Each structure stands twice: as structure tokens, then as C-alpha cells.
Chains A and B, each alone.
Chain A
Amino acid sequence: MNFLFDDDQNMLRDAAKKLLRDKATFESAHQHMDRESDYDKDLWKLMIDNGWLGIAVPEEYGGSGMTYLDLAVVAEELGYYYAHTPFSASIFGAVEAIMTAGTEKQKHEYLPKLVNGDLIGTLALYEKAGRYDVAGISAEVKNGKLNGTKLPVSDGLCADVAVVAAKGTKGLSLYLVDLKQSGVSRSLLKTMEVTRKQATINFENVDAILLGAEGEGESLLEASINRTAILVAFEQLGGAQRSLDMARDYAIERYAFGRQIGSYQAIKHRLADMYVKVEMARSNCFFGAWALTSSADDIAEAAAVSRIGAVDAFAYAAQENVQIHGGIGFTWEADPHLLLKRMKLQEALLGGGGVWKEKLYKVLSSKQAA
């Protein structure tokens, strides 16, 4: 038994930190906030050049066939350094959905392009009802044509292809939809977090290619979202660690009543609690990464505990980071609100603690029954 990352991953982490420290700064995030359809194109290019997009994709589909442990390490650093690129939507979302549900032909057709950056992918699941189960979806595919409206769609303004959840003739199904075709109209959706742009996408009689078996959408989504959730949990973990580090540094730098504020227990103990939550979340995320890599039977449980831990830790750390900064923490100019908003976005997009606790309860009950 070994419950830590190996040397390979530690080296990859160092390399990722080195690159992101310079290139994925809060300063650049601030600059991007006011622009409409933008993401950090320079950083995206560097990620492509470094082969990060295909880390966990098998070589036969154009990836480098490393492990999900490696991808998890990169995910955490992307979260830590507040990257604003379509990495999450395209790699953790679309690639995982295609890997889970796609036919061999579809994998060969799409994955190499997603991995080399020729295509940007995303997931288009939610609609006005705010959920993506059968009852919450009204988008429909008839005779291969999709009609409906999806929101929010992550990086929906720049994406080239979306995995769409819609009703087919046999029930909820997944579809691959080319977003460059006519009949697709997109607009910026106003969101709290403005560095990772979200979109409303309207589909009017557009071509939709079935992904996986028809009517199997719910179980396919369940399987692929579990995988996405583990990877996003690492991003959240990174964000939580960043919030903690930022608050800790400020507690050392800032004086009040003739002392560093970090010497007051009200602050010190809160930072200790942040640290504890982050470390607990980290342990569950490790379980997630390991399940993705080596223990498929554990993925559903591991995804839920990763997600529950990461949502909780990031929420606490981001909120208290604002608090520990005092007045400056409430300003647009300072950085803590960026993490706070990213935290809320990531919580909303895959479901909060309650959703995942309900899922976990079901997984555990069926495990017990077996």
C-alpha cells in the first residue's frame, strides 16, 4: 500500500507549477474579466505544446497514455493557479464523455483533435430547469435533428463541439453536436465568475450524432460525470489550497493592534480549520485519482467522496479567505473574490454537496446490500 503520488507525478507537478506560476497569474485573470469571448489563448497553447491535454488519453487516440494520477496532478495545479482556459470543459468534460460513451470510430475521430487542440469540446447538459435528469431536459432529437436550449455551457462561446444530453425516441441520450454549423446560436450568459465564460446555446434543427446507445443517456452520463467530478475535485482542491495559502500569507503580513493578525487565535484557528478541511479533501481526492487509475469498481463511491470533500473545503477556504482579508477582501481589485466566484461556479456546474451525498447514500446502500 502506498497512499501518495509517486516520483513521476511529483516531477510533473514541479513542471506544472513552474509553467503556471508565470503564465496563469491573477493579473492575467483580472485582464480577461472584462472581455467577452475570451480565454487565455497563450496559456492554452502552452498546455497543448506540453501535451497536457492528452495526458490520460491512450496513445491510440492521440494521447500520451500516461495515467489519471498524472492528469489529477495537473488538474490540481490548474485550480491552484487559477487558469482560465477550456481545459476543464474540454478534457475533464467532453473527452471523458467520449471515452465513456463513444464508439471506436468516434473516439478515433474526435479524441486526437481534442487532444491536440484542433477542437475544443464541452458538455451541454443543463437547461432552464437547472438539472439534467430526464425530467429536467426538454431538448429533443428527432430524425437526427436537435432542437432546444442549453445553459450554462462552459466555454460555450469558444467550443467547437459539444456533448449534449437530449431526449431521443428511446429516452435520454447523449449526442455529439458540431457547434460551428448553422442553426447553432450562442450568447454570453451572465455569471458571477467571469473568467470562465459560460454560454446559452440555442439549437435549431441542427445535426446531432448519437453518442453511445440510444436511451442510455442517464447511465452513460452518470458514469462519465463521475469521472469528470473526480478531476474537477482536484481543481477545486487546488483552489482551496490557494485560498488557504493566500489567507495565511496575509495573516502574517497584516498588523492590527500592534500584532500580526495571524497571532490572534480567532484567525490562527480558522486557518488551522481551513488546513484540516483541505487535507481531508485531499485524501478523498487521492482515493478518486486512484479509483480512476486502478479500481473502476470504486469510481462511483470515490467520485462522491472526492466531490463532497472538495466542495466543502473550497467553500470554507474561499469564504474565509475573503473574511481574513478584511475590507480589501471585498474589493474587485484584490484577488480573493476570484477564488470565491470560481468556487461557486464549480459547485453549481456539477452539483453541490447535497446532490453528491444523495448519490453516495445510494452507492453505499447498494454496496451494503451486495
Chain B
Amino acid sequence: MDFNDSPKEAAFRKEVQEWLDANAEKRGPDDSSALSMFSERENPEMIAECKAWQRKKADAGWACITWPKDVGGRGGSLMENIIFGQEEAKYITPANIFMIGLGMAGPTIQVHGTPEQKKKWLPSMLRGDVVWCQLFSEPAAGSDLAGLRTRAVKDGDDWIVNGQKVWTSGAHYCRWGILVTRSDFDLPKHKGLTYFVVDMESPGIEVRPIKQITGGSNFNEVFFTDVRIPDENRLDRVGNGWSVSLTTLMNERMSIGGGMGIGSEMILAELQRVAEDAYVDGVPAKENPVVRQKIAEFYSRMKAMELTVNRTLSALSKGGMPGSESSIIKVTMGILLQEIAAFAMEMQGGLGAEFGEDASFSHGMWQELYLGIPAIRIAGGTDEVQRNIIGERVLGLPAEQRIDKAVPFNEIPTG
């Protein structure tokens, strides 16, 4: 056990710091923007900024540190990746709109793609030239993803796709998407699925924004009407779409869990700032024992989460796939940040009701965080689904009794 950088890691960290110093601006001590989760609907200028930053990183060899060199990565270690993330979080950088591509689609293509497919998609993904979205969820298929009904029918060298996806983050600015469809309705639900990569500019795709509880609109409905997808854009075998989807989902839990960039020190500093300005019972909040103990508790739980991420990565460095352990992070993160944000608002007294940048405390960032958190608890497998995963895959408890697994898909009752 050694929580410190090895000499090699320290040298790597120094190199990262030097590059960041030369290429980005350090976050000031009063800058709370790192806690912000959702912005207004992404516009072309924002996207351009994000892409420019990603390209800069790629040119310097910092994009996709853990990816193998032959697909354009650095071939670096998980620990180096953590180090880069830790350092990058100290700087003002554009939002990370590449998570679905780099965190989910990329790893899936690396596992299930042909050499041609890897060559076709990975380099432009890595450089940030092309942004990716995830077309999985449907109106009748969320937690029960394998219940999806978007239909793919083979037609010569193409597939014709009809149906509807929903909650598709970023569909309005993404050029490519990963798409799961049902290619056979007569097989049991998990057997009839086929996985594609789809060009979002294909004729027949319509993207409509959905307004979120935050007031913003980062996700969409996506309608498919006779959309043609060439067979060469199919990932893995026909009918093997469930197994490909599981690769994506496993990586998704990992990136949502580990990749938020909100750390214990940051939370502590931000909570202290509120506790200094707010009053409880006529004294500054930071002199109130309940407030102090809450802040300490939150710090302790944040610390545990960070260390758990590190522990998981140490285990992964020694070989092994991202397993169900990442469910621990995902299931802890949402509820913890929700409690923290709620508490920060409570400290503000009546001003906790304010909303928006002009709010009296922290530029309204706590309110924004509070409203954003449900997304963490729902997207990428809800808290309840994560608990099922932990219960069944980690603890080995018996699975739910199910009536939908063995029968043909078109005979399953629906609501």
C-alpha cells in the first residue's frame, strides 16, 4: 500500500502540471463552477470550445491515456489516468461532452469491433472531432433495457430501422450514436437484439429536445423512420446485441461513478464558504456543532468514495475487468451529493429558495447541483438497479423471479 506517487508517477504528474499550466487557466479559490452539472442547451460555440480542448489534449498525447497506442491512445496506466484527472480538475476547462464516446462507445468498439471499425471510428472520437451519443433507452425500456422495441430489418446490405429512443443526451450535437435494436421479435428478449453504430445525419432521424427539471434541455427524443444503416456498421454478430450492450453499461457505471470530478476537498471548501456566511440561531453556521459535524461527516463520506475509486482502480491495474464494484460508487455518489446540496441550501435559511446565478450564496450553484443530482441517481442504471447488481452479482443473492426471460419477446405482457 502506498498512497503517494511512485517516482515515475510523480514525474508524470509534474509533466501533466507543466502542460496544463502552459495550456489552461487555474481555477481560482472562489470558483465554484466545478460543482455545476448541467448547462443550458449546448450551442455550437460551446461545442467548438469543447472540441478544441479535446484536440489540444490529443495533440499533446493526453487524450485517452489508458487506450492502446495502436488506436491512438497513450498506452498509459489507470493510475496515470487518475493523475491526469486530478490535475485537470484544478483548471478551468470546457464541459466534458465526450464521456459517452470515450467512456462507453470507445471501449465497446475496442472489445467488439473489427479492425476496420476501430480504424474508422476511434481516432476521430479520440481527437474530439466527432461526438457520440447513446441510443439505448426507449419509452418502454429503461431499467428493463432488454425490453426495447426499436425494430431493425435486414434489407440487402443495409438494415432499416424504425422506432423511438428517449433521454438521449447530446443527440442534438452528436454525429455518431451507439444504437441497440430488436432484430427478432420471436426470440426471447435478450436473444433478439442487434447493436449498431449510426450516423446521426442519416435521413429519417429526427431529434426533439426535452426540457429537464433543471430548466435546461440536454437530452432528447430521437425518432427513427425508415433509417438505413449499412451492415458494415453493425457491431458484433446479429442477435448478440445484449452482450455488446453489457460491455457499454459496465463502462457507463464506471465513468458515471468515477468520472464526476467532484472531490472531498472541493466539497469541504464550498461548504465552509457557506458556513462562514450563513447564520444559525444568531451565530455563524460554522460555530454550530450540528453544522460542523455534518460538514465533517460529508467530508468523511466523500473521502471514502474517492478512496474506493482508487482502490477499485488499484485492483483493475492488477488485471481484471470493471466489475460490479463500480455500482458501489454509483449508488453512493448520487444520494451523498443530494444530501450535501440539500444541507448547503438549508444553511442558507430563506435564501435557500433562491435560484440562478444571482443567488446570494455560491452563485446558486448548490441549487443547481441539487436539481441535477436526480440524473446521477437515475441515468446509467438507477440506484435500485445498482442495488440489485450488488445483491445478485457481488453478494450472490438469488435473482428476482421473472416471467419474461424464457418466452418469445412478443408474448411478454406490457403495461
How distant is the Cα of A269 from the Cα of B296 in the complex, in angstroms?
27
With a CB–CB cut-off of 8 A, which chain A residues contact B384?
265, 269
Choose among A259, A262, A269, A293 the residue that contacts B1 (Cβ–Cβ < 8 A): A293
With A276-B390, A283-B307 in contact, do A2 and B1 touch (Cβ < 8 Å)? yes
With A293-B1, A358-B289 in contact, do A269 and B387 touch (Cβ < 8 Å)? yes
With a CB–CB cut-off of 8 A, which chain A residues contact B293?
353-354, 357-358, 361
- Tell me the dominant secondary structure on chain A's binding face: helix
Cβ–Cβ contact B395 & A276, under 8 A: no
Cβ–Cβ contact A262 & B397, under 8 A: yes
A343 adjacent to chain B (CB < 8 Å): no
Distance from B273 Cβ to chain A, minimum over Cβ atoms (Å):
11
B304 adjacent to chain A (CB < 8 Å): yes
Cβ–Cβ contact A271 & B314, under 8 A: no
Choose among B79, B272, B299 the residue that contacts A1 (Cβ–Cβ < 8 A): B79
Cβ–Cβ contact B307 & A3, under 8 A: yes
How distant is the Cα of A262 from the Cα of B303 in the complex, in angstroms?
31
Cβ–Cβ contact B391 & A290, under 8 A: no
* Interface-located stretch among B4-12, B43-51, B148-156: B4-12
A275 adjacent to chain B (CB < 8 Å): yes
How distant is the Cα of A280 from the Cα of B308 in the complex, in angstroms?
7
With A252-B397, A276-B331, A284-B304 in contact, do A1 and B2 touch (Cβ < 8 Å)? yes
With a CB–CB cut-off of 8 A, which chain A residues contact B401?
259, 263
Q: Which residue of A lies closest to B392 (CB)?
A: A268
Cβ–Cβ contact B3 & A287, under 8 A: yes
Which residues of B304-340 are within 8 A (CB) of A? 304-305, 307-308, 310-311, 313-315, 317-318, 325, 328, 331-332
Q: Which residue of A lies closest to B336 (CB)?
A: A280
With a CB–CB cut-off of 8 A, which chain B residues contact A1?
2-6, 9, 79, 82, 310, 314
Q: Please give the number of chain A residues whose Cβ is less than 8 angstroms from any Cβ of chain B in the complex.
A: 52
* Interface-located stretch among A45-53, A301-309, A314-322: A301-309
With a CB–CB cut-off of 8 A, which chain B residues contact A4?
1, 311, 314-315, 318
Cβ–Cβ contact B305 & A248, under 8 A: no
How distant is the Cα of A361 from the Cα of B299 in the complex, in angstroms?
9
B350 adjacent to chain A (CB < 8 Å): no
How distant is the Cα of A100 from the Cα of B395 in the complex, in angstroms?
41
A134 adjacent to chain B (CB < 8 Å): no
With a CB–CB cut-off of 8 A, which chain B residues contact A354?
293
A360 adjacent to chain B (CB < 8 Å): yes
Cβ–Cβ contact B307 & A284, under 8 A: yes
How distant is the Cα of A361 from the Cα of B285 in the complex, in angstroms?
13
How distant is the Cα of A5 from the Cα of B397 in the complex, in angstroms?
28
With a CB–CB cut-off of 8 A, which chain B residues contact A272?
331, 386-388, 390-391, 394-395
With A1-B310, A3-B314, A276-B328 in contact, do A271 and B397 touch (Cβ < 8 Å)? yes
B400 adjacent to chain A (CB < 8 Å): yes
With A269-B387, A309-B304 in contact, do A252 and B398 touch (Cβ < 8 Å)? yes
How distant is the Cα of A353 from the Cα of B331 in the complex, in angstroms?
22
Which residues of A295-333 are within 8 A (CB) of B? 295, 304-305, 308-309
With A1-B79, A6-B1, A304-B296 in contact, do A287 and B397 touch (Cβ < 8 Å)? no
How distant is the Cα of A180 from the Cα of B250 in the complex, in angstroms?
62
With A1-B4, A1-B9, A268-B397 in contact, do A280 and B388 touch (Cβ < 8 Å)? no
Distance from B413 Cβ to chain A, minimum over Cβ atoms (Å):
20
With a CB–CB cut-off of 8 A, which chain A residues contact B328?
275-276, 279-280
Of A281, A294, A357, A365, most buried by chain B (CB within 10 Å of CB) is A357
Cβ–Cβ contact A289 & B331, under 8 A: no
A366 adjacent to chain B (CB < 8 Å): no
Cβ–Cβ contact B3 & A309, under 8 A: no
B297 adjacent to chain A (CB < 8 Å): yes
Distance from A107 Cβ to chain B, minimum over Cβ atoms (Å):
26
Q: Which residue of A lies closest to B272 (CB)?
A: A368
With a CB–CB cut-off of 8 A, which chain B residues contact A260?
397-398
A286 adjacent to chain B (CB < 8 Å): yes
How distant is the Cα of A360 from the Cα of B301 in the complex, in angstroms?
12
A273 adjacent to chain B (CB < 8 Å): yes
Cβ–Cβ contact B296 & A357, under 8 A: yes
B269 adjacent to chain A (CB < 8 Å): yes
How distant is the Cα of A294 from the Cα of B4 in the complex, in angstroms?
10
Cβ–Cβ contact A360 & B397, under 8 A: no
B399 adjacent to chain A (CB < 8 Å): yes
B95 adjacent to chain A (CB < 8 Å): no
Distance from A312 Cβ to chain B, minimum over Cβ atoms (Å):
9
Cβ–Cβ contact A360 & B269, under 8 A: no
Cβ–Cβ contact B332 & A280, under 8 A: yes
How distant is the Cα of A281 from the Cα of B292 in the complex, in angstroms?
21
Distance from A296 Cβ to chain B, minimum over Cβ atoms (Å):
13
Of A3, A259, A309, A357, most buried by chain B (CB within 10 Å of CB) is A3
Apart from A3-B313, A269-B384, 5 more pairs, CB < 8 Å: A1-B2, A251-B397, A272-B331, A272-B387, A360-B296
In the A-B complex, list the 9 residue pairs whose CB atoms are closest, starting with the nearest. A283-B307, A268-B391, A357-B293, A280-B304, A357-B296, A262-B397, A272-B390, A360-B296, A272-B387
13 of the cross-chain contacts (CB-CB < 8 Å) are: A2-B2, A252-B396, A260-B398, A265-B391, A271-B395, A272-B387, A275-B328, A283-B307, A284-B304, A295-B3, A309-B300, A358-B296, A359-B296
**Chain B residues near A (Cβ < 8 Å):** 1-6, 9, 79, 82, 268-269, 272, 289, 292-297, 299-301, 303-305, 307-308, 310-311, 313-315, 317-318, 325, 328, 331-332, 384, 386-388, 390-392, 394-401
